[in-house]
Homo-oligomer: A and B are copies of this chain.
Amino acid sequence: MRKITCGEGEVRATSGMQVAEKLSSLRTLMAENDVDVLIVSNSDPHNNEYVAERWRCRQWVSHMKGSSGVVLITANWCGLWTDSRYYETAILALKGTEIELMRSSDMDTPKIEEWIKKELPDGSTVAFNGADTSVTQAEAWMGSLQPAGFKMRTDLDLIDRVWKDRPQPPCGKFYFVDEVIIGESVESKISRVREEMRSRKIDAHLLGRTDESCWLLNFRGTDIANNPTPYCFTLVTLDRVVLFVDSEKLGDDGRERLAAAGVEVCDYTEVENELRALDASTRLLLIPNHASHALKQAGNHCAIVKDRAFVTDLKGVKNPTEVANFKRILVEDGAAMVRFYCWIYETLRNGGEVTELSASRKLEACRAEIEGFRHVSFESIMGYGPDGALNHYSVDESSDKPVHQEGLFLIDSGGNFVLGTTDTTRVIPMGESTDLQKADYTLVLRGFIDLISLKFAEGATGAQLDGVCRQAMWLHGRNFKHGTGHGVGFGLEVHEGPQNISGTCKEIMKLGQISTIEPGCYRPGQWGIRIENMVHTVLSSENEFGRFFEFENLTFCPINVDLVEPSLLNAEHIAWLNAYNAEVVEKLSPLLDDAQQAWLKNECRPVEPVA
* Cβ–Cβ contact A199 & B475, under 8 A: no
Task: Kindly state whether residue A478 has any CB partner on chain B within 8 Å.
Answer: yes
Q: How far is the CA of A161 from the CA of B343 in the complex (A)?
A: 83
* Cβ–Cβ contact B464 & A201, under 8 A: no
Q: How far is the CA of A117 from the CA of B196 in the complex (A)?
A: 12
Interfacial chain B residues near A503, Cβ < 8 Å: 459-461, 463-464, 506
A505-538 toward B: CB 8 Å interface, digit per residue (1/0)?
Answer: 1100000000000000001000000000000000
Q: How far is the CA of A467 from the CA of B284 in the complex (A)?
A: 37
- Tell me, rounded to whole Å, the shortest Cβ–Cβ distance linking A116 to chain B: 10
Q: Which residue of B lies closest to A116 (CB)?
A: B201
Task: Kindly state whether residue A456 has any CB partner on chain B within 8 Å.
Answer: yes
Task: Kindly state whether residue A18 has any CB partner on chain B within 8 Å.
Answer: no
Q: Which residue of B lies closest to A147 (CB)?
A: B303
Task: Kindly state whether residue A544 has any CB partner on chain B within 8 Å.
Answer: yes
Task: Kindly state whether residue A352 has any CB partner on chain B within 8 Å.
Answer: no
Which residues 451-470 of A have a CB within 8 angstroms of B?
A: 454-461, 463-468, 470
* Cβ–Cβ contact B306 & A143, under 8 A: yes
Checking B114, B148, B465 against A467 with a beta-carbon cut-off of 8 angstroms, the contacting residue is B465
Given contacts A305-B147, A459-B503, A545-B479, contact A117 B201 (CB under 8 A): yes
A191-234 toward B: CB 8 Å interface, digit per residue (1/0)?
Answer: 00000000111100000000000000000000000000000000
Q: How far is the CA of A199 from the CA of B113 in the complex (A)?
A: 12
Checking B144, B147, B454 against A474 with a beta-carbon cut-off of 8 angstroms, the contacting residue is B454
Q: Which residue of B lies closest to A463 (CB)?
A: B463
- Tell me, rounded to whole Å, the shortest Cβ–Cβ distance linking A255 to chain B: 34
Q: Using a Cβ–Cβ cut-off of 8 Å, how many residues does chain A contribute to the interface with B?
A: 56
Looking at chain A's contact residues, the main secondary structure is: mixed
Interfacial chain B residues near A307, Cβ < 8 Å: 144
Checking B122, B465, B546 against A201 with a beta-carbon cut-off of 8 angstroms, the contacting residue is B122
Which residues 298-339 of A have a CB within 8 angstroms of B?
A: 303-307
Q: Which residue of B lies closest to A470 (CB)?
A: B464
Given contacts A201-B117, A461-B503, contact A306 B467 (CB under 8 A): no
- Tell me, rounded to whole Å, the shortest Cβ–Cβ distance linking A394 to chain B: 24
Checking B306, B468, B504 against A147 with a beta-carbon cut-off of 8 angstroms, the contacting residue is B306
Interfacial chain B residues near A458, Cβ < 8 Å: 107
- Tell me, rounded to whole Å, the shortest Cβ–Cβ distance linking A259 to chain B: 32
Q: How far is the CA of A456 from the CA of B503 in the complex (A)?
A: 12
Q: How far is the CA of A385 from the CA of B541 in the complex (A)?
A: 27
Q: How far is the CA of A475 from the CA of B465 in the complex (A)?
A: 13
Task: Kindly state whether residue A477 has any CB partner on chain B within 8 Å.
Answer: yes
Task: Kindly state whether residue A149 has any CB partner on chain B within 8 Å.
Answer: yes
Which residues 214-272 of A have a CB within 8 angstroms of B?
A: none
Task: Kindly state whether residue A589 has any CB partner on chain B within 8 Å.
Answer: no
Interfacial chain B residues near A455, Cβ < 8 Å: 474-475, 477
Of the candidates A304, A456, A467, A548, the one having the most CB atoms from chain B within 10 angstroms of its own CB is A467
Task: Kindly state whether residue A56 has any CB partner on chain B within 8 Å.
Answer: no
Interfacial chain B residues near A143, Cβ < 8 Å: 306
* Cβ–Cβ contact B541 & A146, under 8 A: no
A137-173 toward B: CB 8 Å interface, digit per residue (1/0)?
Answer: 0000001101111000000000000000000000000
* Cβ–Cβ contact B474 & A548, under 8 A: yes
* Cβ–Cβ contact B467 & A147, under 8 A: no
- Tell me, rounded to whole Å, the shortest Cβ–Cβ distance linking A521 to chain B: 8
Q: How far is the CA of A365 from the CA of B348 in the complex (A)?
A: 79
A180-200 toward B: CB 8 Å interface, digit per residue (1/0)?
Answer: 000000000000000000011
Task: Kindly state whether residue A25 has any CB partner on chain B within 8 Å.
Answer: no
Task: Kindly state whether residue A471 has any CB partner on chain B within 8 Å.
Answer: yes
* Cβ–Cβ contact B283 & A147, under 8 A: yes
Task: Kindly state whether residue A450 has any CB partner on chain B within 8 Å.
Answer: yes
* Cβ–Cβ contact B107 & A303, under 8 A: no
Interfacial chain B residues near A456, Cβ < 8 Å: 470, 474
Of the candidates A118, A202, A460, the one having the most CB atoms from chain B within 10 angstroms of its own CB is A460
* Cβ–Cβ contact B468 & A471, under 8 A: yes
Q: How far is the CA of A548 from the CA of B479 in the complex (A)?
A: 9
Q: How far is the CA of A467 from the CA of B545 in the complex (A)?
A: 17
Q: Which residue of B lies closest to A462 (CB)?
A: B463
Closest 9 CB pairs of A and B: A464-B467, A463-B463, A467-B467, A147-B303, A148-B201, A457-B479, A147-B305, A461-B503, A504-B506
- Give 26 A-B contacts (CB < 8 Å), ordered by A residue: A107-B459, A118-B199, A147-B304, A147-B305, A148-B201, A148-B303, A149-B201, A454-B475, A455-B474, A455-B475, A456-B474, A457-B474, A459-B503, A460-B467, A460-B474, A460-B503, A461-B463, A461-B503, A461-B504, A463-B467, A463-B504, A463-B506, A464-B464, A471-B471, A474-B548, A479-B545
Q: A148-B305, A471-B471, A523-B544 are in contact. List 20 more A-B contacts (CB 8 A).
A: A107-B459, A117-B201, A118-B199, A147-B283, A147-B284, A147-B304, A147-B305, A148-B202, A148-B283, A450-B471, A454-B475, A457-B474, A463-B506, A464-B464, A464-B503, A467-B467, A468-B471, A477-B548, A479-B545, A504-B506
